[in-house]
Amino acid sequence: MHARTLGQGLQVSAIGLGAMGMSQSYGPNPGSRDDMIGVLRGAVERGVTFVDTAEVYGPYVNEELVGEALAPIRDEVVIATKFGWRIEGGKSVGLDSGPEHIRKVADESLARLGIDVIDLYYQHRVDPDVPIEDVAGAVGELVAAGKVRHFGLSEAGASTIRQAHAVHPVTAVQSEYSLWTRDPEPSVLPTCAELGIGFVPFSPLGKGFLTGTVDASTEFAAGDIRSTIPRFAAESRDANQALVAHVRELADAKGATPGQVALAWLLAQQPWIVPIPGTRRLSRVEENAGATALALSADEVADLDAVAARIGVVGNRYNEAGMAMVGR
């Protein structure tokens, strides 16, 4: 797999791997912990060098899993994790990006991951109670101390990105972005382009919807976060099938899968965009990696844009509480 460069010269594989679903959010895991270690190591064997986790995934257990899996091949991978939540009794109870808290949880993440330095450290959500300049300054201190290499932001708005970048260079912004989530396009992506910041789309396959494997009849397992998301209500799924049908039509014509087309569309947007689809199956890792070899013409990209704009998407991507925490 070829490499791409985020901000500050950070090179990663063109497709990364989001590890969250190995520990939470999508119902019972079809595999064991050893199976997930096998998926993580198998992904690296197939050229994936960028793995994403966070302290709040689990909480904590996802970082431990990623750390154990990647320990033998640490020098081959870029490990990204995140801070910004106050976690009590095994649950997140609110935001906390106070500088003292950042310093504390950075040490804890390093210990769980079993590494000496965090390659990319994101603020998971913007904390309205802490000036972003203080957050950037605290991470800058961690960089100076050799505990962190690069600073990132997740789901931040353009103004926040600018303010943070003025204090300490931002390497990457991670937000949801796909054919059916275009929120970053008006202001965040132009800001990244102007400032030389990479962009890392999470849920690049629309939490599975753009793979064509979810429809109005799909029943979500207990614990599957999609059962709480308006966009995945049965009536919304039915209405949103039109976009997937068009993606599938193009995929069939090109001998590819809908998921590969959706990822190839993202890769075609900018050379500094690196999607991190999540999966718990090595077969999906291989399928997703195949998107890097799928060339979409300018006309095909424009056609997908036009269809997505015409059809639109029914339902928000988070519930009301979740939507309140993005784009700050």
List active site positions: 57
The DSSP result for 213-265, as a single string, is ---TT--PPTTBGGGG-GGGSHHHHHHHHHHHHHHHHHHHHHT--HHHHHHHH
Q: Quick one: tokens of 18?
A: 């989001």
Burial class (CB in 10 A: 0-12, 13-18, 19+), 219: exposed
Q: Find tokens 């202001």 and name the residue.
A: 187
- Distance, CA of 95 to chain centre: 19
How far is residue 170's CA from residue 254's CA, in Å, rounded to a whole number? 37
In what helix (H) or strand (E) does residue 298 lie, and over which residues does it extend? helix 298-311
How far is residue 199's CA from residue 192's CA, in Å, rounded to a whole number? 7
Q: Quick one: tokens of 160?
A: 């926040």
Helix (H, G, I), strand (E, B) or coil at 321: helix
Q: Quick one: tokens of 189?
A: 């992506």
Q: Phi and psi dihedrals of 5, rounded to 5?
A: -115, 120
Q: Find tokens 């990479």 and name the residue.
A: 198
